[in-house]
Chains A and B, each alone.
Chain A
Amino acid sequence: MESIFQFFFKYRSFVFQRGEIIFSLSPTVVLAILVGIGALTFLTYSRVRGKSTRRDRIILSLMRVGIVAALVFSLARPVLVLSTSVPQKNFIGILLDDSRSMQIADGDGSRGNAVTETFASDGSLMGALSDRFLIRFFRFSSETQRMEGTAGLEFDGPRTSLPDALDRARQELSGVPLAGLVMVSDGADNSGVQLSDAIVALEASSVPVFSVGVGREEFERDIALRRVDTPRSVLKGASLVVDLTIAQRGYRGQTVELFVEDSDRIISQQEVELPPDGEAARVRVHLTAEEVGPRLFKFRVPALSGELVTQNNEQEALVIVEDRKERILYFEGEPRFEVGFLRRAVADDENLQLVVLQRTAEDKFLRLDVDGEDELAAGFPSTREELFSYRSLVLGSVEASFFTHDQLQMIAEFVGQRGGGLLLLGGPRAFAEGGYIGTPLEAVMPVVMEAPVEGRPPLSLDVALSPAGLTNAVTQLGATEEESGERWTALPNVTTWNHISRIKPGAVELITATAEGLSEPQTVLAHQRYGRGKVVVFTPQDSWLWKMNPDVPVDDPTHETFWRQMLRWLVSYVPDQLNISTERDRVARSEGVDLTASVEDDRFLGVNNSHVVAEVVDPAGGISELEMEWAVERDGEYRAGFAPATNGVYEIRVNSFSDGERTGSDTTYVQVAELDTEFYDAEMKAAPLRRMAEETGGRFYTIDDLSTLADDITFSESGTTVIEERDLWNMPIIFFAVVLLLGTEWGYRRVRGLA
């Protein structure tokens, strides 16, 4: 198509896009001539009398005007004004993708081979480019580096960052006349960095990008484990629900085995039916985290015949299994069986300490599972320091008026500021019935409270999972979602005094119930984020019926399983006073590990004058110390980084000190490995490559057709350029137009007998 255009118009369309058409005669004069000749033609033809009809005369007039117009266009001497680079006065930067995805052989050879051959110094392309420009090569993956020629390419970069590469090349060549950048890549960016900022900077510098796509946009046959969602850390013995996304092309309807391995030991195996081409299947795997420490779970589907890329058939996930005692405060306003059964349900859980403050009478409390004589000796905590020492809080059937306003505000801050988990249980003194409307806790709740009605009997709730509950880990009672849903539906009814049927925007309802005599479903379990923490509402007051009811077998674990999962969920992701985190839990050796620690006091306010030290334990057991520095822009945030030397799991132990005394400690892990990140979603991504070209005034190519690249860059407006005028009066299209019109006019006269 491009060659046909060039045949008729003398130049390629891209040249017209880059230039501007002007005439030696002014457009007004050209228009005046055309109007004059047109009018004269119509006048002449209109006076002709003979056997021609009015229609004949109009058609002939139009054709004659067309012929004259073409001639006038040529006589007006149109020229295409272009800005062209001065040969050997300008630089171009050639950015070559050096990431591992370039090893994929989805063409005649690997993508990398195609690049090295195309950009070989003795190749025709480089000849054409070097005739016109001074060339600077860059190789990029997660980092961008200058290089001489293509000899430095290794195609083993762990990640691809197109924006970083463009930024680095632009900055490095900012001091020289730069005609443009040539970006050669498969476009499979996995850095997570936005491309927009890099493009805006190039636009501001008027540097066009000529992007070259390498590889196929679609694999014919491939299976890929695209996503594995696991929690970052869990308590020992926790039931893990892992969601995987398996995409495929070319194997529709086939069944494959999904293996889960822990330290090369298969711990789970299940069959998966592959979805239609281009679609993804969601698979749920249930695991139990028994062994403490960093666990590396590998999820794997064996390669099928004909697969182009097999590295994307497996994914690894690092899960930190912690063996710590999570302290939860349960304050119950009236003695009731829910307390005893709940305590019993989690009694065997060595990782949960349910500290119970039971009001047994007016101003009389029973303390259970406290750590010492002093704990809760004065009743419910009256200071933030005391309350914030717990990781979660359960409020039972206790009226709002029991608390002072400051205590209610403190509970709200426990969630919003401290990041604790709050569980609100139903009861005759809870929610609206307990006078919570208008209190600071109303804003915290994920549900909308309705004004209580005096004398209303309790509701009998027939519970069922909501769609969100089917997939949530806390409500899983079976091996599959279906099994879990059926189990919930089969559970005996429970009761509640609290009529709650609406959740707030942003809240998620996990269990609903139908209640006799009420048309709208009632909320049983709902949650929402509030500030740094989460709030959960559970409206029944007698979940112990799920243990005691005669329809429930004596050894049925439903009640224990639910409450254990519930309380573990409540304490999950609750921050400590010192928290250490890494940007990624798996990095390549060539990548640095960035550490961020947040240090807070016992009221969970950021501390900026702490002494924070990280101990990095390498896989061989060697220990190195890092001083972490306060990041000025955020209170209580400290940062440091290190470059791992070997592959393996690194342990990072962080301690914070104030006045020489240790105020906190935390540990995390990071895996250093040869990452296969590049092989996921590794088809050539034309969209970002097109975008960077189109928005900067460049052009997108595929590596198979770069014949015009050197010429196209020549028309860059960037760098050292000259203005060039190219005649358009002799475009073949004008000659063909005149000949065509004359021939048509003659033919028309012959047919109509007017010749």
Chain B
Amino acid sequence: MNFRPLKGAFTTSVVIAGSLAGSPADKQPGSSEPTSPVSDRLAPLAQGDEGSSRFHFTRAVYSDVLRQGRSWFVDFPEADRHFLIGLERLTAIDPFERENPVRLDDPALRNFPFLYAVEVGYMALTEPEVEGLRGYLLAGGFLVVDDFWGSREWANFEFQIKRVLPEFAITELPIDHPLMSSFYEIEEVRQVPGFGRGVRGFPTWERDGYVPHLRGIFDDDGRLVVLINWNTDLGDAWEHADMAEYPLNYSTYAYRLGINTIIYALTH
């Protein structure tokens, strides 16, 4: 995790403590009302000026709890831009080279079948956002979530995604799943630490998220609809890939898994 407004101001434990104090997990299942709806200032329109004609790395803009609607904003836009540079250089994809944040309740979301969301442990979707995301996923969209840690954040995300897709179960993605070989051969699920822990080298986990997981939600046709990167932070690895102090092996892995994910999303 690398939450910019708090970076340097609090330790990770303070962040966790602060987060947990008002964690949506504590509010479940009685309320899912966001305390921080997405403000207009933080909800820019889609940037893609070429619409559906090119690949857009689209970031989900959503409402959250206790974070002034800025959970979606973590690592933005550097992570997106850095990753797009790698994507263009390493693959035959000719992507739109800028970030592309889109609100979940914006109909324009349906023009971008790939969607990336971070910090979903703080997600608190409004009903229009639930409806928008559900329609998006059922119509053929693909959601990748990243950078959320531990059981409490998992519980919140699980609660939120069940509001969106109550009929589908969350399952562990097997290591031999086609996504793991769509471009690079990836043989293990590794934990990619956030910037601070990555620089220090150990521990790589946050809160009680000791073991990284790659999970998925499949629809009735067996299509992978949601890819869940839990207890790992690919976004930070992309964002800091150009920093010497951030370990290269994490960035390399994050790029590989990110590219595999996109190739898979485009072809399946």
A: residues with CB less than 8 A from B are 333-337, 339-341, 343-344, 347-348, 356, 358-362, 364, 366, 368, 428, 457-458, 494-495, 497, 541-542, 544-545, 547-550, 552, 554
Contacts and interface: CB of A to CB of B under 8 A. Distances in A.
B164 to A, nearest CB: 13
B92 interface: yes
B53 A495 contact: yes
B266 interface: yes
A428 B94 contact: yes
A368 B267 contact: yes
Interface stretch (B116-124, B138-146, B203-211, B239-247): B138-146
Contacts of B110: 548-550
B113 A548 contact: yes
A339 B182 CA distance: 14
B167 interface: no
Interface string B224-268: 000000000000000000000000000000000000001101111
Contacts of B268: 340, 343-344
A335 B91 contact: yes
Given A333-B92, A360-B183, A362-B92, A339 B266 contact: yes
Given A359-B92, A495-B53, A366 B182 contact: yes
B58 to A, nearest CB: 12
B218 interface: no
B223 A344 contact: yes
B131 to A, nearest CB: 11
Given A366-B183, A457-B50, A497-B53, A344 B140 contact: yes
Given A360-B183, A366-B182, A337 B266 contact: yes
Given A334-B92, A344-B223, A544 B267 contact: no
B55 interface: yes
Given A356-B267, A360-B183, A366-B182, 14 more contacts: A340-B268, A344-B268, A358-B267, A360-B91, A360-B92, A366-B263, A457-B50, A494-B52, A495-B51, A495-B52, A495-B53, A545-B52, A548-B111, A548-B113
A333 B267 CA distance: 12
Interface residues of B, number: 30
Contact of A335 (B50, B111, B135, B267): B267
Interface string B85-118: 0000011111000000000000100110110000
Give the one of B107, B110, B221, B266 with max A CB within 10 A.
B266
A364 B259 CA distance: 14
B53 A360 contact: no
A734 to B, nearest CB: 94
B141 A542 contact: no
A542 B265 contact: no
Give the one of A333, A343, A544, A550 with max B CB within 10 A.
A550
B111 A360 contact: no
A347 B265 CA distance: 15
B205 to A, nearest CB: 32
A341 B125 CA distance: 28
A335 B53 contact: no
A550 B221 contact: no
Nearest to A494: B52
Nearest to A342: B267
Nearest to B141: A548
Lowest 10 A-B CB distances belong to which pairs?
A550-B107, A542-B52, A335-B266, A458-B53, A550-B110, A554-B138, A334-B92, A495-B53, A548-B110, A339-B267
Given A335-B91, A495-B52, A366 B141 contact: no
Nearest to B93: A335
Nearest to B268: A340
Given A335-B263, A366-B267, A458-B50, A547 B92 contact: no
A542 B182 CA distance: 22
B189 to A, nearest CB: 21
Nearest to A347: B221
Interface of B: 50-53, 55, 90-94, 107, 110-111, 113-114, 135, 138-141, 182-183, 221, 223, 262-263, 265-268
A360 B263 CA distance: 8
B113 A550 contact: no
Contact of A544 (B50, B55, B140): B140
A545 B263 CA distance: 19
B203 to A, nearest CB: 35
Nearest to A335: B266
B198 to A, nearest CB: 27
Nearest to B52: A542
Contacts of A362: 92
A604 to B, nearest CB: 31
A341 B91 CA distance: 20
Give the one of A335, A340, A343, A495 with max B CB within 10 A.
A335
Contacts of A348: 221
A550 B135 contact: yes
A362 B183 CA distance: 12
Given A343-B268, A347-B221, A366-B263, A361 B90 contact: yes
A335 B113 contact: no
Contacts of A366: 182-183, 263, 267
Given A335-B262, A542-B52, A554 B93 contact: no
A340 B111 contact: no
A348 B220 CA distance: 12
A172 to B, nearest CB: 70
Contacts of B183: 360-361, 364, 366
Contacts of B111: 545, 548-549
A361 to B, nearest CB: 5
A457 B221 CA distance: 36
B140 A548 contact: yes
B260 to A, nearest CB: 10
A361 B267 CA distance: 14
Contact of B135 (A339, A344, A554): A554
Nearest to B90: A361
Contacts of A545: 52, 111
Contacts of A364: 92, 183
9 contacts: A335-B262, A361-B90, A361-B91, A366-B263, A457-B50, A495-B51, A545-B111, A550-B110, A550-B135
B53 to A, nearest CB: 4
Nearest to B264: A340
A366 B138 CA distance: 26
B267 to A, nearest CB: 5
B52 A340 contact: no
Contacts of A548: 110-111, 113, 139-141
Nearest to A497: B53
Given A356-B267, A428-B94, A458-B53, A544 B223 contact: no
A343 B52 contact: no
Nearest to B113: A337
Contact of B266 (A340, A458, A547): A340
Contacts of B107: 550
B185 to A, nearest CB: 12
A544 B182 CA distance: 21
B225 to A, nearest CB: 12
Contacts of A542: 52-53
A349 to B, nearest CB: 12
A552 B92 contact: no
B92 A361 contact: yes
A341 B266 CA distance: 8
A644 B107 CA distance: 65
A591 B116 CA distance: 69
Contacts of A360: 91-92, 182-183, 263
Contacts of A497: 53
A361 B184 CA distance: 11
B265 A340 contact: yes
B13 to A, nearest CB: 42
B181 to A, nearest CB: 9
A494 B141 CA distance: 17
A541 B53 contact: yes
A552 B52 CA distance: 15
A335 to B, nearest CB: 4
